[in-house]
Structure 1
Amino acid sequence: MSDPDEKNGLELAVEAVGGQAKKLATLLEITPQAISQWKQIPSDRVIAVERITGVSRRFLRPDLHPPELPSVDSAA
């Protein structure tokens, strides 16, 4: 099994539903052909994919949902 840090969000989402893009497509109510055209999860599908798979949007599309940075206390 490869390192999860090396997988893109689409690979993580497909893996989360059992490893079949067809199953993800069914759950999203789209065609498997639509998913086969994705290089990454479209921005308008990220929340639905997160809800269905349980994979955080931060992993699905880190370019759109980067990890939150810790706040800096300016009173220090």
Structure 2
Amino acid sequence: MAQDQTSGIDEAIRAAGGVEGLGDALGCAHSSVVRWRQRGRVPADRVVAIESATGVPRDRLRPDLYAQPARPGMAEAQAPFVAEARSLGLDPERIAEAALRTAVSDEKARRWAEENREAIAAHNAWVEEHGVILAKYRMF
């Protein structure tokens, strides 16, 4: 368990730009952060502040306090719906495949738009200022 906690504090230190950055973000001595790292344990009263400052989830910082309960696998969780869908004449495998395909496609599009937000904004600003390239030749 200490392995997970150490990797969580290491992740928080990296996210904050180093030991000094995390100490400054929390308003505490840098030596305190070093001690937490050496001990492999973040004090319980600092977990939420570290999560807020770095974005590292609390269950990564202190899994002993914030461990997520085990979730059933997708097949087990969906079993009642599969039976009901079949009783209604639906094909649950086809529906699940289509839903996953759509979700993956939507997430890829969202990430692409986010990654290219600045370029898209720059292009739109250029078009706004100069107009569409070769607009006089457009037939629509």
TM-score band by shorter chain is: 0.7 to 0.9
> Which structure 2 residue ranges, 5 or more long, are not aligned?
81-140
Runs of 4+ in 1 over 2 A off after TM superposition: 68-71
Look at both structures and tell me which one has the larger radius of gyration over its CA atoms.
2
Q: Does 1:32 align with 2:30?
A: yes
Higher helix share: 2
Measured after TM superposition, the shift of residue 16 of structure 1 is 1.1
Q: Does 1:53 align with 2:54?
A: yes
Structure with more contact order per residue of length (Cα contacts < 8 Å, sep ≥ 6): 1
Q: Does 1:10 align with 2:15?
A: no
> Which structure 1 residue ranges, 5 or more long, are not aligned?
none
Count residues with an aligned counterpart: 69
1:33 alignment partner AA? S
**% identity of equivalent residues:** 34
CA distance in structure 2 between the aligned counterparts of 1:51 and 1:24, rounded to whole angstroms: 11
CA distance in structure 1 between the aligned counterparts of 2:70 and 2:54, rounded to whole angstroms: 25
Given the two structures, how large is their TM-score scaled by the length of structure 1?
A: 0.75
Q: Say whether the 8 Å CA contact 1:21–1:35 is kept in structure 2.
A: yes
